[in-house]
Structure 1
Amino acid sequence: GKAGTGKTTFLKYIRESTLKQTVVAAPTGVAAINAGGVTLHSFFQLPFGPFVPTSQNSLTNHEQGIIDQHSLFRNIKFFSAKRRLLEELELLIIDEISMVRADMLDAVDLILRQFRKNLHQPFGGVQVLFIGDLFQLPPVMPEDQWQILKHYYESPFFFHSKVIKQDPPVYIELKKIYRQSDQHFIDILNRIRNNEMIEDDFNILNKLYKPSLISSEDDRYITLTTHNHKADLTNQSALDKLEDPSYSFAATITGEFNEKNFPTDQQLTLRKGAQVMFVKNELGELKRYFNGKLAVVTSLTDERIVVELSGSGMKMALEKETWRNIRYNYNAEKGEIEEEEVGT
């Protein structure tokens, strides 16, 4: 489903309602933290080099960092508890599937078949639920690795993996967009997304283009940039222009939490009048904000942030949020796969 169609809400519902022994994984650390799961690489001990889906690859050697079926299992060191967890696993949820490479998915398939002693069923008989938007971030594939893998795969995308081509999944698309209410605007966005723009779309957008526009500080336009550091400079410049005193709010880090996986800055500095963007959905009944929702800071103290939500004009005091870093363990006494919080 595209942005705003409820993928995160759906994932949360599945986690809370399923009776199956479940693991949630994602291709990157940040995506795993946001999904409330673990990375595919850490859970399955996947290699960071290219994986070729054969056991007779003449190119494979240590210097090139290429992994084939034999060397994949030589590098995996699962303790008995982890092996038991894989044996009991019933549902594997992979979030942000668009970023998962074809060779990595084939490696996951092979590992599950081997350690579950079920060589003839995809993923060793584990039900797999893929969640994501294929129009968003693609897999990261360095050119030198693609020169090797192109002999085995049509593209780096997960749907060209051997396991998916052998046993295609059922595709279910979430179509209703909850973040926008203007249907005309939604239709234009969808046609842009699908490369199906019509003449009226161009005319409407071109009428809104103002090349000589001089923006004021009150306009609060969003600036799109190519790199994070450019966005940081733009935001800092806008913050520096505000006259009210600044307040800084530092994250409290406990346990194991890799700095690269922080979902936002470790220290947040704000001033009254600053425009902010939420990076997390509100999970309660009210659903006043969502990832990408804009607001303006209306008052600040050392312990309190009050913002006015864009669009509705509603004011709300923000509360501290917690992101959890977890790992999965198998509890033999209960016969359950459990989450262990290792850091926040």
Structure 2
Amino acid sequence: MKYLVTGAAGFIGSAVVEKLTSAGHEVVGIDNLNDYYDVNLKHARLKRIEHGQFLFKQVDLADRVAMQSLFEESQFDRVIHLAAQAGVRYSLENPYAYADSNLTGHLNILEGCRQTNVKHLIYASSSSVYGLNAKVPFETSDSVDHPVSLYAATKKANELMSHSYSHLYDIPTTGLRFFTVYGSWGRPDMAPFIFTKKILDGDTIDINNNGDMWRDFTHVDDIVEGVVRIADVVPAKNADWSVEAGTPANSSAPYSVYNIGHGSPISLMDFVKAIEDELGIEAKKNFREMQPGDVYQTYADTQDLFAATGYKPKVGIKKGVAEFITWYKDFYNK
């Protein structure tokens, strides 16, 4: 297969490229290499996956002309669209970055797939779409109409935009709602990275909602396995589906949405303790109130994804944290 992977210099994207090329697929990866976080880390990820089966191009998703040319020249079989402006809190500071990357960028991907008859589009949604939902675990049959950040709203919009293209043009699309991914080569703006860096540097870590928070931490190796497997599960049209009797995760169109997470939430304090134990250092902690855009708990029901792919996460917190910290110390010479 010939794949396009967007966000190829990113945390999950670079790991997906590595998995696909090791399986013999041809991959074109794009990334705009923006400075939302350390660009050197992005270049290091790219250097790690450079070889003959992989071609990297620096392209901005929001550049309509460049994206159109990319699709026309390359004729992809499948697209794994992971690029986006990430981060919940940053959406409070720079909302227009989310409109450009997550809305205009997603539309350019959909148009590219339409114009070149891509056989399957897999794209990143987010657990943040569950917003004010209090019932757990989160199921794809739940309503996701009450996001609490612009980032979450753009991810919900991506699902709606994808459904319209699946309905109008028979493009098979699969959305994946990611739940708190961590591991080697992770993002510096995420809690595991922030906590590890600050603890090693002797700085104080901020603990939101006074520590009463839960996250469905999922190791990147498990995420990548799920992404690559779902690429082979191409949604089909279903004439028997209806809005009244069906689930929002499926459609009469070739459209599906899945949760992709570990399925067993961990308390924030237990996660911090795992980092402390691995480092052999007790963190200095600043307990504070819930922050704007945050949610109390994430918890994925992943039964649909397991049924479709056989995907079942294997990496527990102790092993996953140890793997991440080993990488962190090596990469930053700590």
TM-score w.r.t. structure 2 length?
Answer: 0.31
| Higher-Rg member (1/2) | 1
> Normalization by structure 1: what TM-score?
0.30
Q: Select the structure that is richer in helix.
A: 2
